Chains A and B, each alone.
Chain A
Amino acid sequence: MKRVTKTVTTTLLAALMALTLIAGCSTPPTTTAPTTAAAPGPTATEDPIKWSGTVTVAPYMFSPVDESQNVIKPLIEAKLLEYGYDVDLQSVFYDNDTSKYRELLNVHIVSGDAADIFEPKGQAYMMDYYDQGVIASWERSRFEELCPNITKFVTTGGVDGRLINYVDMFWDFALIDGKMVTVPGFAEAGTALPKVMLLRGDWLKNLGVGEADLPYTLDDFIKLMYRFKNDDPDNNGKNDTYGFSTSVIRAIFASFWGYTSFPDPYMTSRIEFYNFDGTMKCGDTLPTNKQALEVLRKCYADGVIDPEFVAKDGENTGGYWAISQGFINGKFGASCHAGLGHYYPPGVRSADTEGSVAKEYFAVNGNRDYVYAPWPAGPEGNHGGWSLGPACGIGENAVYNAKMDTAKLEAILSMMDIIAGDDDLAMLGVYGIEGTHWQYNDAEKPAAIFKEGMTNEVLNTQGIMAYRAFYGGPAPLNEHLIRVNYYNDPLNDYIFTIQGKPGYKGGYNRDLYEDTASTSLLKAELIGYRDETFIKMIRGEMSLDEYDNYVTEYMKRGGDTLTQEAQAWLDAKK
């Protein structure tokens, strides 16, 4: 009896195990083809409500919306209802860490519950989503019918037509295989937070270097860096200072030619391509890099470069990314880590506000004794900082879930256009309520300034910028909004004044402004190989004679493929 019970028990258990295994088998989910907008049809109806439904939006945010404090959602929905759209906007928060945002987005896409609108966070990812049928697409002609405001704004070159020369580029950004997948990649504020070369003013004073003596050439700049290293610029009797660190290394490369993203981690490590009379060349393999490496190698051997330049986050050792702790604490005397927008003093925007890093500098040093300096110019006169230009990240614009039906997609595009054409709606979605979250300054050209205490986290919690992907991109393409946000901002006058001095502005716009098919596959390895090689050459662990071998190996590892794709891209534009 006991034996029978044992047999029955084990048989039952084995059967249960087998059932569990079989239950795990299921048919793979079917993929849906990208949604294509229908041909134009009759739109007039007697029903005042043109469309009704829920739209889920998953923009990149700093903080999730606290629905108990969300003041923006009811206002936006009420306004859209006046236009005939009864929409229930739902903000979905994935994460405020970009890499986790993307990871979670992918999980939701695979499981079929991704939001209606999301951000691919990179052009290469947008292309991948398109290839896998995840995102919707539509004809440009249909977009122009549904979105006349945005179409007009883009085709006339934005605010006051300033970007008229980039119109074709912006439309190109939005197309894959001739179909639109997102809104044209307009970013008037593409030169926002331009970089600047900063020098420690107290060190210059101690060394007797006045404004007239600021170095303009690379040779003079390096001489000054040597003085920062050897002449005890902080007057403490110790040889504990360096000339420069991570960020200035890029400026040295730029003094010769071109720009690589080495070694600054905040430049969203890219592989740059430049157009030399119709031939695309990779910035990582330019012959001029060798000259820059020679200068850097000597500086490193003489102790002018901070040995921690190889650190993962560059000059920032923690906290807000724009803080260069080494520069603020007097470890090295030159930095171009942050932008002009981080260092502006009180009085530029208002009496009480100043650049976020300027505040830190003052807290540590008790003064704002830093000096803006020209970029060091190399033998051919080349110089500059990182210059993005209006060729900005298309990957920040919204894409639309392919599972949506055509009616919903067209309704979303129409609502997006309504917001772009309505100044009040645009300001509400991005700035919030006037008087509560922001106000105009008293200038002749009024600018919108966030009120004290309105950090991005606070704003997101209350629903501001919480639906940004619903507007098509980071900000609605509304002329008034862009004007009061960017063109009228007194910070721009301050920046233009500084950059207007000889030698203070410069840089290289990249000539390949879209990711190619192989970028996402090859970028990580090539950048890793480049960084490792350049670091070894600077530290003297590898001879500069190996540079040509490095170029050969780089090309073999995929540089060749990317160069060919870049060339094909350029040729297609002709």
Chain B
Amino acid sequence: MQSKFGVFDFICYAALILMCVTILVPFLHLLTLSFSPSYVATSTGLHLIPTDITLDNYKRVFEYRFVWIGYGNTLIRTVLGTAMQLFTTAIGAYVLSKKYYPHRTFWTFIIVFTMFFGGGLIPTYLLVKGLGLINKYMSLILPGLVSAFNLVIMRNFFAAIPEDYEESCMIDGAGRFTIFFKIIVPLSTPIIATVGLWLVVGHWNAWFDVLLYMQKPNLETLQIVLRRIIIQGTQAIDMSSGAVFSDQQATSVEGLKAASIYVATVPILCSYPFVQRYFVKGIMIGSLKG
């Protein structure tokens, strides 16, 4: 029997359409600006369809040598960082998920306690510097290697997996590592994909730690480079100094900003469809029989 389209459905659809419009309109506006010359950005109003198309903004972004260097560094950081973080978080969460782990509550509390405060900018910098990590990729990965939040999330997921799986494997002679990598991890693809995606997005978007720890231009990541492009041209030249400045400013900054946003965001946007299926895929597929 077909269900009727009622008032509630109408409200739901209307709210969702409104939400989509709220998200899509700025998206289209920026896309238009990225393909438009500067006067379009200076003109008031929303610009949803480009009328005067130019590739100058993208050209300017990609002509900047550091953009490519930034892309490379960002990829290295993201891949390495995500892999290391996922591994360490997963094994830590797995251990803490076992009820028979000694003083489990105490260790969980110690880890969660670290979520409530931080050392601050300068102590953290001094620590990283003291470890000799300045100008090294590990300075971007090691300080945040195990996030307490992610660890707790994963722990709760692992705790929900019935222990019968492990017991049946142990009976067949499997060791702990075999059980973890061959049984637990395949059953945990939703949580690994979710946490992995958070980590990927976090690494991709991070910039302040790069500003702090990477002091050579050829080690900068994409976000730093793009941020610099965006700030250039918006700077209020300090008129209180006698500094010599060129008055040839990049006034087409809005178009440049928009192009920079797309250059940084499109790779992440493209990766979402590949990961999405893991969120909805159920667990316990082909699980216990009998």
Digitize A431-454: 1 where CB-to-B-CB distance is under 8 Å, 0 elsewhere: 100000000000000000010111
Taking a contact as CB atoms under 8 Å apart, the answer to whether B42 and A473 are in contact is no
Q: Give the distance in Å from the alpha carbon of A393 to the alpha carbon of B242 in the complex.
A: 9
Contacts of A113 in B (CB 8 A): 129
In the assembled complex, the CB of A236 is this many whole angstroms from the nearest CB of chain B, namely 14
Contacts of A190 in B (CB 8 A): 240, 242
Across the interface, B253 reaches (CB within 8 A) one of A6, A10, A319, A431, namely: A319
In the assembled complex, the CB of B255 is this many whole angstroms from the nearest CB of chain A, namely 9
Q: Is the CB of B43 closer than 8 A to any CB of chain A?
A: yes
In the assembled complex, the CB of B225 is this many whole angstroms from the nearest CB of chain A, namely 10
Q: Is the CB of A65 closer than 8 A to any CB of chain B?
A: yes
In the assembled complex, the CB of A238 is this many whole angstroms from the nearest CB of chain B, namely 14
Contacts of A92 in B (CB 8 A): 215
Q: Is the CB of A455 closer than 8 A to any CB of chain B?
A: yes
In the assembled complex, the CB of B65 is this many whole angstroms from the nearest CB of chain A, namely 7
Q: Give the distance in Å from the alpha carbon of A65 to the alpha carbon of B217 in the complex.
A: 8
* A33-41, A96-104, A137-145 - interface stretch: A96-104
Taking a contact as CB atoms under 8 Å apart, the answer to whether B122 and A110 are in contact is yes
Taking a contact as CB atoms under 8 Å apart, the answer to whether B211 and A100 are in contact is yes
Q: Is the CB of A359 closer than 8 A to any CB of chain B?
A: yes
Closest chain B residue, CB of each to CB of A452:
B248
Q: Give the distance in Å from the alpha carbon of A357 to the alpha carbon of B247 in the complex.
A: 10
Q: Is the CB of A95 closer than 8 A to any CB of chain B?
A: yes
In the assembled complex, the CB of B206 is this many whole angstroms from the nearest CB of chain A, namely 15
Q: Is the CB of B236 closer than 8 A to any CB of chain A?
A: yes
Across the interface, A319 reaches (CB within 8 A) one of B37, B42, B245, namely: B42
Contacts of A98 in B (CB 8 A): 235
Which residues of chain A (376-432) have a CB below 8 Å from chain B?
388, 392-393, 396, 430-431
Contacts of A192 in B (CB 8 A): 239, 242
Q: Give the distance in Å from the alpha carbon of A468 to the alpha carbon of B38 in the complex.
A: 31
Contacts of A193 in B (CB 8 A): 237, 239
* Chain B residues close to A by CB (< 8 Å): 37-39, 41-44, 65-66, 102-103, 110, 121-122, 125-126, 129, 211-212, 215, 217, 228, 231-254, 257
* Chain A residues close to B by CB (< 8 Å): 6, 9-10, 17, 60, 62-67, 92-93, 95-98, 100, 103-104, 106-107, 110-111, 113, 186-190, 192-193, 266, 268, 318-323, 325, 328-329, 331, 339, 341, 353, 355-357, 359-360, 363-364, 388, 392-393, 396, 430-431, 450, 452-457, 459, 465, 468, 473-475, 481-482, 485
- Other CB < 8 Å A-B pairs besides A190-B242, A456-B246, 20 of them? A65-B217, A95-B211, A96-B228, A96-B231, A104-B212, A107-B122, A111-B125, A111-B129, A188-B242, A318-B254, A319-B254, A320-B234, A339-B239, A353-B247, A356-B251, A357-B251, A360-B42, A459-B246, A475-B242, A481-B244
